[in-house]
Structure 1
Amino acid sequence: MSYQTFAQVYDAIMDDTLYERWASFVDRQLQNKGQSVLELACGTGALAVTLKKHGYDVTGLDLSANMLSLASERAFSEGVQLPLIEGDMLDLSEIGQYDVVTCFSDSICYMPDAAAVLNVFKEVYQTLNEEGTFLFDVHSIYQIDNIFPGYMYNDQSEEISFLWQSYAGETEHSIEHDLTFFVYEEETDRYERFDETHKERTYPIEVYREMLQQAGFTSIFTSAEFGESDINDESTRWFFTCKK
């Protein structure tokens, strides 16, 4: 799949209005817009560029070289300087220190188990400067257990169509998303099919708190829906603000 096609596929399943909401959440949590920010799982760089335009000194990190190539192209087209690192959030030992680390779009939920989540929290803690801030979000148990199972969504345009179906995973509070894309290839004048399965898992909010405390965080504040409400039984996304 070409980078251009990859971008089409990725952007097709993302609601681009969410990037400004994530950036606004960051604004509300931080006192100084000049702080250095490491964005974990930066993907194609949409949020990193948005945060850069909000006045932060942003560096993006992602496991995928393809994603980082797209992020570089996006930053160039938007006229911003965006350092990018190919790396794994499970090992941040060689990337320096930052005032803020962010990890949004439920990227923590892609960790395979609680041990991996704890490892990420420990790596982030070591990467933060003194009094640094860790901001992230995860799917709530309500979202994973009650909203996603059986979810189906279809969309199409002249260039791309996709099918999205979600079903309960094999472990507690987990979900699997089957994505099928049909992308028009001009060179062959035909639609090519691409299939992906995304697996996500979440935990009770108390478990996240315990793991954060075990990693060393002492100040942990939780909210829901981009920090716009308190957590309740039907909150779909939990947000965490953690201080070193």
Structure 2
Amino acid sequence: MSYQTFAQVYDAIMDETLYERWGNFVDQELQNKKQTVLELACGTGALAIMLKKRGYAVTGLDLSANMLSLANERAWAEGLQLPLIEGDMLDLSEVGKYDAVTCFSDSICYMPHKEAVLSVFKEVYQTLNDSGMFLFDVHSLYQIDEVFPGYMYNDQSEDISFLWKSYSGDSEHSIEHDLTFFVYEEESDKYERFDETHKERTYPLVVYYDMLQQAGFTSIKTSAEFGETEVKDDSPRWFFVCKK
């Protein structure tokens, strides 16, 4: 799959309006836009570029070299220099220190078990400067246990047909998403099929609190709807603001 096609496929499953809401959440919590920010799981760079435009000194980190290549292309197209690191959030020992670390789009939920989540929290804590902030979101129990099982979504454009089906995973509070794309390839004048399975897992709020405290965080605040409301039983996402 070419980089351009890869970008089309990735963007096909993203709601672009969410980037603005994540950006507003960062503004609300950090306030000082001159802070250095490490964005974990930055993907194709859409949010990192938005934060850069808002005045933050952003560095993006992602496990995928393909994603980072696309992020770099996007940054150059916008006339921006965006430092990018190919790395794993399970080991941030070589990335330097930052005033804030962000990790959105439920990327924490891709960790396979609690030990991995705790490891990420510990790595982030060590990466933050004194009084640094860690902002992230995760799927709620309601979203994983009630909304996603049996969920189906289909979408079609001129170049891409997209099928999404979700079902409960083997572990408690886990979900698996089967994604199928049919992407038009101009050279062959045919649609090519791509299949992916994404596995996610979440935990009760008290478990997240316990892991964050084990990592060293003492000030932990939770909310829903991008910081706009309190957490409710049917909140789809939980948002965390943690201070070192």
- TM-score normalised over the length of structure 2: 0.99
Rounded Cα–Cα distance in structure 2 between residues aligned with 1:15 and 1:60? 20
Partner of 2:180: 180
Kindly report which structure 2 residues correspond to 1:113-132, keeping only aligned pairs within 5 A, or say none.
Answer: 113-132=113-132
May I ask how many residue pairs the two structures share in their alignment? Answer: 244
Kindly report which structure 2 residues correspond to 1:62-211, keeping only aligned pairs within 5 A, or say none.
Answer: 62-211=62-211
Rounded Cα–Cα distance in structure 1 between residues aligned with 2:156 and 2:48? 27
Rounded Cα–Cα distance in structure 2 between residues aligned with 1:119 and 1:54? 30
Query: CA-to-partner distance for each residue in 1:69-103, whole Å, 9 max, x for gaps?
Result: 00000111111110000000000000100000000
Query: CA-to-partner distance for each residue in 1:177-228, whole Å, 9 max, x for gaps?
Result: 0000000000000000000000000000000000000000000000001111
- TM-score normalised over the length of structure 1: 0.99
Shift of 1:31: 2.7
Residue 200 of structure 1 aligns to a residue in which SS? strand
Q: What amino acid does structure 2 have at the position aligned with 1:154?
A: N
Rounded Cα–Cα distance in structure 1 between residues aligned with 2:176 and 2:232? 24
Rounded Cα–Cα distance in structure 1 between residues aligned with 2:232 and 2:15? 24
Shift of 1:156: 0.5
Q: What amino acid does structure 2 have at the position aligned with 1:81?
A: Q
Kindly report which structure 2 residues correspond to 1:42-53, keeping only aligned pairs within 5 A, or say none.
Answer: 42-53=42-53
Rounded Cα–Cα distance in structure 2 between residues aligned with 1:81 and 1:222? 33
Partner of 1:220: 220
Kindly report which structure 2 residues correspond to 1:29-48, keeping only aligned pairs within 5 A, or say none.
Answer: 29-48=29-48
CA RMSD, Structure 1 to Structure 2 (Å)? 0.4
Query: CA-to-partner distance for each residue in 1:138-187, whole Å, 9 max, x for gaps?
Result: 00000000000010000001100110000000000000000000000000
Q: What amino acid does structure 1 have at the position aligned with 2:50?
A: T
Rounded Cα–Cα distance in structure 2 between residues aligned with 1:159 and 1:74? 21
Rounded Cα–Cα distance in structure 2 between residues aligned with 1:158 and 1:220? 45
Rounded Cα–Cα distance in structure 2 between residues aligned with 1:78 and 1:220? 35
Query: CA-to-partner distance for each residue in 1:24-80, whole Å, 9 max, x for gaps?
Result: 000000131000000000000000001111110000000000000000001111111
Residue 29 of structure 1 aligns to a residue in which SS? helix
Percent of pairs with identical residues? 81
Mark the runs of 5 or more structure 1 residues left unpaired by the alignment. none
Query: CA-to-partner distance for each residue in 1:98-143, whole Å, 9 max, x for gaps?
Result: 0000000000000000000000000000000000000000000000
Q: Which runs of 4+ in 1 moved over 2 A?
A: none
Rounded Cα–Cα distance in structure 2 between residues aligned with 1:124 and 1:150? 34
